[in-house]
Each structure stands twice: as structure tokens, then as C-alpha cells.
Chain A
């Protein structure tokens, strides 16, 4: 394996780690808090209903937004670190 493809592999692993982390958060807030884990959150009241309902109708969308911008920002740093930025 050449020096260059070794750096390429490390860059790709860093990207995958970040993607996996973001997708775990993505799944936990929507499928988790919004649907499957909703009964566990039923004790937390939010404006006439519970936290799970809030995640299903607003919270998950807000988290998705933060996730994409977080991913874009961190990827920019990773791009520069491995010297593959444009």
C-alpha cells in the first residue's frame, strides 16, 4: 500500500466514524425518542403532552438540522487535516 492510499484509508475511516455517530443520533431521536422509546419519556410533560410527542413532531427535525451542519463543519476540518480539501 502506498503512502498516499494509506492516508486515504485513514481519511475514509475518520469519515465513517463521524457518519456512524451522526446516524446513531439520527435513529435515536426519531425511531427512538419519537416512536419506540416514547413510553419511557411519558413522564416528562411538554405543553399538554409528553416529550416523545415533541420529538416526533418537532424535536427530531431540529436535531436533524443540527446534525447536518455539525457533519458538514467537522468534515471540513477532517478534509483539511488529511489534506484532501478543495
Chain B
């Protein structure tokens, strides 16, 4: 069957499935809309959390990030998984015991301050809106590449599907669609990886294949990769080339940022008991690890595959390069997207791919009559999407990868939209503007804010601010510097009071925003930065991407110091902290009445 038709069938089939689930799992109360009535099995919630958390970036970009940098980008692997240890031990069980619906609600109640709650709302909206732009772009790009429709049409279709199941089903609908989306995305990710691992190492399990013998050369795969990269003048794959201190801080920032993301935290409000929140974090990491253990294998193997394909007559040999006319089909297809660009600089009809920035290599190349690296652009996002084509897999695998990329983007978008709509309808409308709103009134407010959030996300996806990619750094920094510390202190330090918490959040935020802006520009406007964003200018070698961990430290210190010199929190707040620290009393029995009163 024609690949194109197959892609339409598979993508259309998955969309029909998501909509079917939405109709089956409609939300009738705010309890269902915000927290799926706290009736979600911990394993099911773990799977939904995995889909919620793994975005277009994890599915499409991460293997490429590892592939083109190697060891130094291991930060992404450790950072984006290590955050779950913090969630499981420092936040999730206690916030579940607290038993409310949103993250700002906890901040407002624990610090007995409407102002603190509103600062929480502000942080949540900035973080979540930023993320959602990236997801909508991911939907548009996947559509335009695989379904051959304009990116805008793809965006509208994606937004329509999310609208349907998120507005109708709220957390309940989103939970069960995320489970389906996880199944689609993990299948789509692992099948091509298994085939590539078999081809290169004979081992059907990619994470084991990564450390196995390379079938073609008889040496270890990673040794072989280091060898061919050295032949072309590139950095070794497995060695450490960057600043160690910065790598530690970057990893820590990703971990703390992960644990502080509101759309991930609220997923743990849906399980029946405190103990389930702990187990559920473990299950979430099981399902995330299936992809995160596969990604570095995909990265290394795809990089080796690309080099081998481009140098059929010997890596870096004078006559070893691939002729332009012998390019495999996948290269031709991807050239049309502009994400892959070749240029025959010396007009010899062959593609010389090497590191022209390496002096020794450049000298050798000049001796051979090469005029520079002719693989001008190889976008890191191609690797995963082109994997099935690179490995010559059947058309249905290509269709599955298209559906997988869409599932990853849509599932994360829905989670983010729910966090945003909850902050607006529950924290702003019910919490601040109209506390007497009825149950049905709040449910409608939640649906309308969800619809508006989708409209905003679609608009921003169509007209992305030029700085969309940069803002992701800001979002992680903000989550690390504001939300994580205030939640953790609220649970672990009884003495932290309202003034301390607000001072801590604001100073952590301000510090992080100022440091990022000094290097990346104020409001990310080009030319407004004071220093070039290069390692020589970074304070103590700390990249703006790694500053979130320092911002978190600033937050902790300020909150502690200010609380020490101001009045202790009132007795009932101390009792609230005591009560969230013990699991007993969280039972689902409380919720039918909670649903009526809320």
C-alpha cells in the first residue's frame, strides 16, 4: 500500500481512538475535571504521567541531542529522569495528602496568602504557555512532513482533537487518552530502534546493543563510533569535553525543574491514596525509562549509520565519499524539508562530510582537494523521524512514527492546557474573583478557560515568538527557581511563613530572569544582552541554561532568612503541615463531599 495512505490511516485511527476515549470518559464534576475523581490506578497514572511528561522534545529531539554531542549531553538523560526521585520523595505524596486541585492552591493555603497564590499562578502560566508553544509547533511540523499538508492545517487539526478530549473530559479524559498516547509513542519509538540495533550489533535490545560489539568491524560499537569520528576530525563521542561544574549544575537544574513542573505535579493528585502517589512516581519512571534508555542507543547508532552511509568507500578516505547521485531515498525526502542540506563545494559530485573546524583535518582535506564540509545542515530532529527510512523499515513503521510524534506532542499539550485552565478557573475565578461560584459554574469556567488556552496556544503556534526555543530555558529555570523550592519548604520546613515564601519566590525568579537576560537578551530581544552567550563570559562558567539550580538556592536562602526574622506561621498552619506529613486520612471517601462543596 502507498506509504502516504498508510500514514493517513494510522494517524486517523489514533485520533479516532483519542476521541472515542474522550466520549467514554466525560467529566461531570469539577472533581472529575481537575483530578479524575482521584480514582486512577497508580500504574495507569504512571503511564499517563510518562506521556504527559515526554513531549515532542523527548520523542523527536533528544536522541539527536545525544547523537551530535555524545557524553556531554548525558545531562538530559540524568536530569529528566532524576527529577522523579525528587518528586516521589519530596513532593508527590504530601501534595496528594493535601488533597486539593492545583499547585497555586497549595501555595496559597500553606502560606495563608492570596499574594503567594497569585505569584504561583503567574509562574505556572509562564511555564506552561512556553511549553505549549513548542508542542503545537511539533504537531504542525509532524503534519507537514508526514501528511503533506501545510503546517497550519496540521496545527488546526491537532488543536481540534485536543479541544475535543480536553474540554469534554478534563483530567479524566486526558488521563485515559494519555495512556493510549503512551502506548502509541513507545511502540513507535522502540520498533525502529530494535531493528537498527539488530542491524548494527545483532542485539535486539537497544540499551544492550549500545554496549555490544559492532557487527561490521568486530570492535565495540562505541569504540567504532569514536574511531570513525576521529577519522573525520570530530570530538570523541564518549569523552568529557565541557566544564564539569556547569554539567553538574545543568543536570541539577533539569532535575529540580522537572520536579517543579505544575502539569506533572497535578497528575499525582489523581490517585486514590498517598502510598499510590509514591508507587505511581516509580511507575512513571518505568515507562519514561523505556524511552530514555532507548534514546542514547538510537543516538549513537544513528550517528554511526549516517557516517557509514556518507563514506561507503572508507571513512575519511580520499575517494571514500558518497556520490551525490547515490544518495539514499530518505536523504532526498528530507532535503525537501530544508532540515537536511548538501552543497557540492568542490564540484566533484561527491559528498565530503568532516569537521572543517579541526585544523589537522582541514589540512588533510585541502590536500585531497576538498573545499569544506558538504553536509551543510543535518538538523538533530531528523534522526528519530527518519530512523525507519534509514533502516529500510516497512511503510507501516513510518506511519507509526508519525503517529508517535503526534501522540507525544498532543499528550503533553493536553496536560499543560489542563494546568493552565485549572489555575484560571480554580485559583483566579473561584479563588480570587468569585468565591461563591457554583459547582456547575466552576466546571463551565474550567471548560471555557481550557478553550481559551487552546486558542491562545494555537495562535502562538501559528505565530511563534522568535525566541520560542530560548524561552524553554526560561521555563525550566522558573520551575526550578520558584515552584520547586516553595513547595518543598512548605512541606519540610514548618517555620517558613508567608513573607519568607513570597520573598523567596520573587528573589529566585528575579535572580534567574536577570542572569538569563544578561546573556540571552531582555525579553529575548536580540541585541539587548550585555554579554555574549559563550562560556568565556559565563559567571564561574555557569551557562544561563544551568542557572535554575542557583536560583533555587537563592530562593531557599532568602525564604529561610526572612522567615527567621519575621513571625512564625499561625498554629493552624503548623497543624496543616503536620497533617500533610502523615498519609492517614487521605482516603477517597472524602471526595464525594469535596466534589459537592467545591
Contacts and interface: CB of A to CB of B under 8 A. Distances in A.
B492 to A, nearest CB: 8
B296 A19 contact: no
B507 to A, nearest CB: 25
Interface string B304-343: 0000000000000000000000000000000000000000
Contacts of B222: 47-49, 53
Contacts of A79: 275, 583-584
> Could you tell me the dominant secondary structure of chain B's interface residues?
helix
A44 interface: no
Contacts of A23: 85, 89
B71 A26 contact: no
Interface string B560-598: 000000000000000000100111111100000000000
Nearest to B83: A64
B275 A61 contact: no
Interface stretch (B204-212, B478-486, B521-529): B204-212
B396 interface: no
A56 B74 contact: yes
Given A47-B220, A61-B289, A68-B88, A75 B278 contact: yes
B238 interface: yes
A73 to B, nearest CB: 9
A61 B583 contact: no
B18 interface: no
Interface string B278-300: 11011001100100110010000
Contacts of A26: 82, 85
B221 interface: yes
Question: Which of A38, A72, A79, A84 gathers the greatest number of chain B CB atoms within 10 Å?
Answer: A72
A71 B78 contact: no
Nearest to A25: B85
A47 B211 contact: yes
A7 to B, nearest CB: 10
B211 A54 contact: yes
B77 interface: yes
Contact of B278 (A35, A56, A68): A68
Interface in B73-88: 74, 77-78, 81-82, 84-85, 88
Which of A35, A56, A57, A72 lies at the interface centre, i.e. has the most chain B CB atoms within 10 A of its CB? A57
Interface stretch (B161-169, B247-255, B413-421): B247-255
With most chain B CB atoms within 10 A of its CB, the pick from A5, A15, A64 is A64
A85 B275 contact: yes
The size bracket of the interface on B is 35 or more
Contact of A35 (B88, B247, B286): B247
Interface in B522-539: none
A84 B219 CA distance: 56
Nearest to B273: A86
Interface in A18-46: 19, 22-23, 26, 30-31, 34-36, 38, 46
A11 B248 contact: no
B274 interface: yes
A47 B248 contact: no
Contact of A48 (B82, B211, B244): B211
Interface string B196-229: 0000000000010011100000011111101000
A58 B275 contact: no
A35 B89 contact: no
B207 A86 contact: no
Given A53-B71, A58-B293, A79-B583, A30 B78 contact: yes
B240 interface: yes
B293 A71 contact: no
Interface of B: 66, 71, 74, 77-78, 81-82, 84-85, 88-90, 93, 207, 210-212, 219-224, 226, 238, 240, 244, 247-248, 251-252, 273-275, 278-279, 281-282, 285-286, 289, 292-293, 296, 578, 581-587
| Shortest beta-carbon contacts, A-B, top 3 | A48-B220, A47-B211, A48-B222
